[in-house]
Amino acid sequence: MPSGPAGDEIRFVATVECTKVLRVGDRSGKALPALLTSAGKAMVALLDTERAGSMLAGLDQRDRNRTRRELAAARRNGYAINNQQTETGLTALGVALRGPHGQVLAGISLAMPTARFARDKVTGYVRELAICAAVIEKDIAQHASTTVADG
């Protein structure tokens, strides 16, 4: 589970691996460019135009145009895809997590070997990611309201 953008990177704070031989390994503690990861793109897509634009500034024109299209698709669809952008043979879907006031907090992603990725399963994968995100957001909101009430 990547945490929110810190600068232009995301950091993986927790990983759950499947038991299959061909799998994506533990990335806990690793930082990657937010604009390449699925959860990172999902989070950046929800940032204000100025902040998102500043993250695109260092890209060449071709990459900036591609990334703008990816961010627009993530806003429209509610999820983003990393199709071998961080590592050859890895495909991931990601969604953003929002806090109680709508702020972007973090993201969650489902990563798999590209050989196992099937476009016809995206809707189901995204539904499960959205359910997981909603549960986490509810827990965060309840914790925030408890903390305020106790404070």
15-37: per-residue pLDDT in tens? 888 888 888 988 889 999 999 99
φ/ψ (deg, to 5) at 30: -80, 145
Residue 4 binned pLDDT confidence (cut-offs 50, 70, 90):
very low
What distance in Å separates the CA atoms of residue 151 and residue 142, rounded to the nearest whole number? 14
State both tokens at 14. 């927790």
pLDDT at res. 87: 94
Q: Where are the domains of the chain?
A: 9-150
Asked if 126 contacts 95 with a C-beta cutoff of 8 angstroms, the reply is: yes
- In terms of pTM, does the model score above 0.85? yes
What distance in Å separates the CA atoms of residue 48 and residue 71, rounded to the nearest whole number? 12
91-98: average pLDDT = 97
pLDDT at res. 5: 45
Residue 6 binned pLDDT confidence (cut-offs 50, 70, 90):
very low
What distance in Å separates the CA atoms of residue 94 and residue 38, rounded to the nearest whole number? 5
Helix, strand, or coil here: 47?
coil
Asked if the model's pLDDT at residue 82 lies above 80, the reply is yes
What distance in Å separates the CA atoms of residue 60 and residue 46, rounded to the nearest whole number? 22
Poorest-pLDDT segment among 11-15, 35-39, 94-98: 11-15
Over pLDDT 90: what percentage of the chain? 73
pLDDT at res. 23: 82
Q: How far is CA 19 from CA 2, 23, 25, 117, 126, in A?
A: 21, 8, 11, 16, 21
Asked if the model's pLDDT at residue 9 lies above 70, the reply is yes
Helix, strand, or coil here: 102?
coil
9-150 belongs to which homologous superfamily?
Answer: GAF domain (3.30.450.40)
